Amino acid sequence: MTEEATNPMRDAIASAISENPVLLFMKGTPEQPMCGFSARTVAILESVGRPFAAVDVLPDPRIRQELSALSNWPTIPQLFVDGDLVGGCDIVTEMYESGELQEALGVENAEAANGPLEVTEPEQAPPMSIENRLG
Amino acid sequence: MVSVSSDELKQRIESGIPGARADVTGDGHHFNAVVSAPAFKGLNRIAQHRLVYGVFGAELGDRIHALSLQTKAPEQET
């Protein structure tokens, strides 16, 4: 595999980032996080109340590899808002505590949160599935 | 695999980033570091964390299982 070769995994990650205004790459799913840092980040996003999409990096090690190469960020979770990396669990926690996260997500008042989020079928076939919770 | 000590992480951060001060706690696998450095001035959190991650490279997630970070420029005491 050369650098020039097409890289469907990286392309899929890049389009997921550009197509989902709030996207979390995590270990496990929002319903069943497989790592404490991912669980905490999900809990914060849910408490802010802005719907988000999530990608589980565990099914294929290449997801994490390509994501980190693309984002220049070594750890999981990674939260993207409007195509930009916001940070991992530590930064999301700090921003939540200071109110910056709510501002970045355009949700000033966490109480104004939406009702239960609906989980829709992922549009894409494997290798990388996106859990689309924007609907 | 040799386990990692909080002291080792502290020393590597402080020698890897000029003028940095690091307080590191941890259990040999999961660590928590509070780092301040003049180099952080004017950088956003992402860029500050990248500087610290850069000290450890591929060891993160491997030898160093998890590193929680709080970074600040020296004047920024909040």
**ipTM summary value:** 0.85
Tell me whether residue A98 is in a domain: yes
* pLDDT > 90? residue B15: yes
Residues on chain A touching B68 (C-beta within 8 angstroms): 89-90
As a whole number of angstroms, the distance between CA A32 and CA A52 comes to 15
3 state SS for A24-73: EEECECCCCECCHHHHHHHHHHHHHCCCCEEEECCCCHHHHHHHHHHHCC
Whole-number pLDDT of residue A123: 46
Where residue B29 falls among pLDDT bands split at 50, 70, 90? confident
Taking contacts as CB-CB distances below 8 angstroms, the residues of chain A near B69 are 90
Q: Residue B50 is nearest to which of A72, A89, A90, comparing CB atoms?
A: A72
A interface test, pick of B44, B49, B71, B78 with most A CB neighbours within 10 Å: B49
Q: How far apart, in whole angstroms, are the C-alpha atoms of residue A96 and residue A25?
A: 18
Q: Does residue A3 lie in a domain region?
A: no
- Per CB-CB distance under 8 Å, the chain B contacts of A94 are 45, 70
Domain limits of chain B? 6-24+31-71
Distance CA A81, CA A15 (A): 13
CATH (domain of A47) = 3.40.30.10
Q: How many CA atoms are closer than 13 Å to the CA of A86, on its beta-carbon side?
A: 28
Q: What is the CA radius of gyration of chain B?
A: 12
Residue B52 pLDDT grade (very low, low, confident, very high; cuts 50, 70, 90): very high
Q: What is residue A107's three-state secondary structure?
A: coil
Architecture of domain B6-24+31-71: 2-Layer Sandwich (3.30)
Most B CBs within 10 Å, among A91, A92, A94, A98, to test the B interface: A91
Which residue segment(s) compose the domain that A27 sits in?
Answer: 8-131
Position A125 scores a pLDDT of 47
Q: Which residue of B has its CA nearest to A86?
A: B46
* Of residues A86, A90, A95, nearest to B69 (C-beta): A90
A96's enclosing H/E stretch is helix A89-98
Q: Where residue A132 falls among pLDDT bands split at 50, 70, 90? A: confident
Paired with A54 in beta bridges are A24, A131
Structure confidence at residue B2 (pLDDT):
66
Categorize the per-residue pLDDT at A85 as very low, low, confident or very high, splitting at 50, 70 and 90: very high
Residue A23 has pLDDT above 70, yes or no: yes
Q: What tokens appear for B35 in the block? A: 């780092």
- pLDDT category of residue A5 using cuts at 50, 70 and 90: confident
Q: What is the pLDDT of residue B62?
A: 83
The distance of A88 to chain B (nearest Cα, Å) reads: 9
The band of A1, judged by pLDDT with boundaries at 50, 70 and 90, is: low
Mean pLDDT of A111-135: 55
Whether residue A2 is contained in a domain is answered as no
Per-residue pLDDT, averaged over A88-107, amounts to 95
Percent of chain A residues topping a pLDDT of 70: 81
* Mean pLDDT score of chain A: 86
Predicted TM-score (pTM) of this structure = 0.82
